[in-house]
Chain A
């Protein structure tokens, strides 16, 4: 796939100044400059059934290093809870950064990525774009490595179990014109266990390129519950990478509501590297208006007895497109591996387009793999049942759809985020 070429080498000096301005370690600058050289040599990732070479994803962010003028009030989007363990960023700036003393004492790190680079350089260096996603993987990752301009680092030490959820809120600043290149690095050390909840939102109407990358590294026996509600704006064109990497017996549970307003590639991928590790990836989505959302969920089974489940439910309205690519890949030697997936799409408009492409790539025989996909309208039997109980048609339809998207709603541990997802669903459904 060809994209418009741009001479990225002209950004070298600005990038060096930007990195120095943030007092980044030398290795970080080297990684940026290496990646900068590679952007033009690499192809964008192949996303089945989507041509996005004309999407405006390649705008370089402002590298002047100036702290962006903060005109966004975070409390427009979040509750004021002083005791919550959370990091809130508006644009590139971190505006809230709270972590309880008890967690700090246990060695938990939950802060913006540049603070982490200063205070815990070795930990960040070990995990940042070394394991889950490497900068030279493709054009998107190279661009990201070169121009990453803010982010979050979460580290949970060995054997630490955290009850209360850790919350991250990212508000894209589209009051100004600036590409959004955000990195979230989650490093779960051996046998740690925690909940992480994430929100992405947009303030403002500028058309901004958005390149977000989340890396989740689960060391042996770690158990991570990751839930997210993505509500980026109508004018944000997004390539969203979420990539997990599991060591022995670890588990990552992803639950993501993909509820953006604009055109989005959601590239969700987990490498099950360690023996006995597993992942559940649940994604629900609504596409409306004229937007295109493509959710490309992939699980690669490398290790013996690894287990990957992909679950995708989506609703399509208006003239929108929603594509679910589910890819289960069992590599040679992954004995006893299991790859399962389910993709279901509800079509609510004749002008919409829905795709469900459940792909299995199996290179090993001692495995089980399966997929189911369906596309159709709202189940008439469920509708009939509800309406026979005196519920009106529109209300019945809403209830059926809410049930249809329910798996991710249930998986979110924070009540207010759960509520927000429900409200987003309602808003998207009533906008037609």
Chain B
């Protein structure tokens, strides 16, 4: 048998000693919701919205399906923690310790090299946000969501909560009551932002709850590519990340949303992501899930306008103690819409990776098509995988094709590569890289390199 190398530590698992400017202590109650709103100097309607959401959160039971959430202890999280006074536009103005963190994560470097704009959230607040001047001149708004509420109140109020209402699920209700930070993007009519905008999310303390709220509005004929990344320190106690992401893509516009989720393996990652596509619009979720203890995330697209297109391309890797319960939803509400779902999953060292999906063709979806592909590799005896897709059709003039495969690493491929002189480990890694290639090739070059490195690191020690 091949030599089993030691598994390295999660390289982003470091914790920094950063004093908070303010936090609300453990647990949540109505006063804390009011406190968060007051500190943010929000308009009355937002406070009402938060309070109503809080009521719904309290009355709503936990989801009974999906991953096991019985160990999520809502009373032990800190729901709001502020680490710096206000978002800086220059890294030099970011508190030194926090800047060091993001330096170690390579965020400023990436911004200089290939991004149109970049932001960084630390705990509950955005600490840095900037966009290159050339893009600002085009009228693109790229800021944190709190600032957007103050500076763009009309466009904010028009769209906020219209895609994911607080009543959608318990975690969405929680987010709606305590949301803080997140990204706001508005791309004006006809403006094409060819270079990605990036946001980086970092949790630093243990038992922290991060509830960022992202709202992206892409106006008619415009286009944007947004990238998010996330990491956290490794602790024995859990943290909770419950984001809500809403995307509105108007007529003939385009939006791609790329996520590389690499939380440390003590984070519950329970995220609601949904997008509305108008006539002729295109939305693409590129969703990579590598980290977290438990993920429940099913990016969805409502194809509401004639000829709208939706794509979800995802990979999920679950290692020891991890549950990646992810998937996709495509709701065809208009004629001649099309959707495509490609999901690639890998389970190893006792991890569980599940695909859960929903494709619906409504009454008015004549001429629509959907193609769904789910492939899974189970690396070893300890690991497992469920594939649970639902396909619901209410129109006779549509076409849906669904395929899925689950297997271990192909022995034929392994044999072939090893007969060419590769050792088992290299051969296995090569097969896995080939398996996830449809995903990595969709990433900007720098991310693809990083992701390949991450996967290669995840695969270490998996043969033996």
Check B396 against A360 for contact (C-beta < 8 Å). no
CA distance A332 to B378 in the complex (A): 12
Which residues in chain A, 348-402, are within 8 Å of chain B measured between CB atoms?
Answer: 348-350, 352-377
A-facing mask of B91-132, CB < 8 A → 1, else 0?
000000000000000000000000000000000000000000
CA distance A367 to B389 in the complex (A): 20
> At the interface, yes or no: B333 with Cβ under 8 Å from chain A?
no
User: What is the distance, in angstroms, from A333's C-beta to the closest C-beta of chain B?
Assistant: 9
Check A368 against B407 for contact (C-beta < 8 Å). yes
- Known contacts A347-B398, A374-B401; is A367 also within 8 Å of B408 by CB? yes
> At the interface, yes or no: B402 with Cβ under 8 Å from chain A?
yes
CA distance A360 to B354 in the complex (A): 10
Which residues in chain B, 373-405, are within 8 Å of chain A measured between CB atoms?
Answer: 376, 378-381, 383-405
Check A365 against B376 for contact (C-beta < 8 Å). no
CA distance A359 to B65 in the complex (A): 15
Check B395 against A358 for contact (C-beta < 8 Å). no
User: What is the distance, in angstroms, from B347's C-beta to the closest C-beta of chain A?
Assistant: 8
Instruction: Number of A interface residues at 8 Å Cβ cutoff, please give it.
Output: 34
> At the interface, yes or no: B363 with Cβ under 8 Å from chain A?
yes
Query: Please, which residues of chain A bring their CB within 8 A of the CB of B408?
Result: 365-367
Contacting residue for B378 out of A48, A353, A362, CB 8 A = A362
B-facing mask of A317-354, CB < 8 A → 1, else 0?
00000000000000010000000000001011110111
User: What is the distance, in angstroms, from A51's C-beta to the closest C-beta of chain B?
Assistant: 14
- Known contacts A347-B393, A353-B392; is A376 also within 8 Å of B399 by CB? yes
CA distance A110 to B245 in the complex (A): 63
> At the interface, yes or no: A41 with Cβ under 8 Å from chain B?
no
- Known contacts A352-B394, A355-B393, A365-B378; is A373 also within 8 Å of B388 by CB? no
Contacting residue for A354 out of B363, B393, B405, CB 8 A = B393
Check B402 against A372 for contact (C-beta < 8 Å). yes
Query: Please, which residues of chain B bring their CB within 8 A of the CB of A365?
Result: 378-381, 383, 408
> At the interface, yes or no: B417 with Cβ under 8 Å from chain A?
no
> At the interface, yes or no: B406 with Cβ under 8 Å from chain A?
yes
Check A362 against B385 for contact (C-beta < 8 Å). yes
CA distance A353 to B395 in the complex (A): 7
> Which residue of B has the minimal Cβ distance to A348?
B396
Check A375 against B384 for contact (C-beta < 8 Å). no
Check A362 against B376 for contact (C-beta < 8 Å). yes
> Which residue of A has the minimal Cβ distance to B409?
A365
User: What is the distance, in angstroms, from B42's C-beta to the closest C-beta of chain A?
Assistant: 41
- Known contacts A347-B396, A373-B400, A375-B399; is A356 also within 8 Å of B407 by CB? no
Check A372 against B403 for contact (C-beta < 8 Å). yes
Tier of interface size on chain B: 20 to 34
Check A364 against B381 for contact (C-beta < 8 Å). yes
Query: Please, which residues of chain A bring their CB within 8 A of the CB of B398?
Result: 347, 375-377
Query: Please, which residues of chain B bring their CB within 8 A of the CB of A347?
Result: 393, 395-396, 398
Query: Please, which residues of chain B bring their CB within 8 A of the CB of A352?
Result: 394, 396
Query: Please, which residues of chain A bring their CB within 8 A of the CB of B399?
Result: 374-377
CA distance A363 to B394 in the complex (A): 34
Which residues in chain A, 138-193, are within 8 Å of chain B measured between CB atoms?
Answer: none
Check B363 against A350 for contact (C-beta < 8 Å). yes
User: What is the distance, in angstroms, from B262's C-beta to the closest C-beta of chain A?
Assistant: 25
Most buried by B among A359, A365, A369, A374: A365
Check B389 against A357 for contact (C-beta < 8 Å). yes
CA distance A358 to B387 in the complex (A): 8
> Which residue of A has the minimal Cβ distance to B407?
A368
Query: Please, which residues of chain B bring their CB within 8 A of the CB of A361?
Result: 386-388
A-facing mask of B301-315, CB < 8 A → 1, else 0?
000000000000000
Most buried by A among B389, B400, B406: B406
Check B385 against A353 for contact (C-beta < 8 Å). no
Check B384 against A362 for contact (C-beta < 8 Å). yes
Query: Please, which residues of chain B bring their CB within 8 A of the CB of A20?
Result: none
CA distance A350 to B366 in the complex (A): 9
Closest 10 CB pairs of A and B: A365-B378, A347-B396, A373-B402, A376-B399, A369-B406, A360-B387, A375-B400, A363-B384, A354-B393, A370-B405
Which of B's residues lie within 8 Å of A, judged by CB?
A: 361, 363, 366, 376, 378-381, 383-408
10 examples of A-B residue contacts, CB within 8 angstroms: A357-B388, A362-B378, A367-B407, A369-B407, A373-B389, A374-B399, A375-B361, A375-B391, A376-B399, A377-B399
Contacts A350-B397, A365-B379, A370-B405 supplied; 5 other A-B pairs, CB < 8 Å:
A48-B390, A350-B363, A350-B396, A358-B387, A362-B406
Which of A's residues lie within 8 Å of B, judged by CB?
A: 48-49, 332, 345, 347-350, 352-377
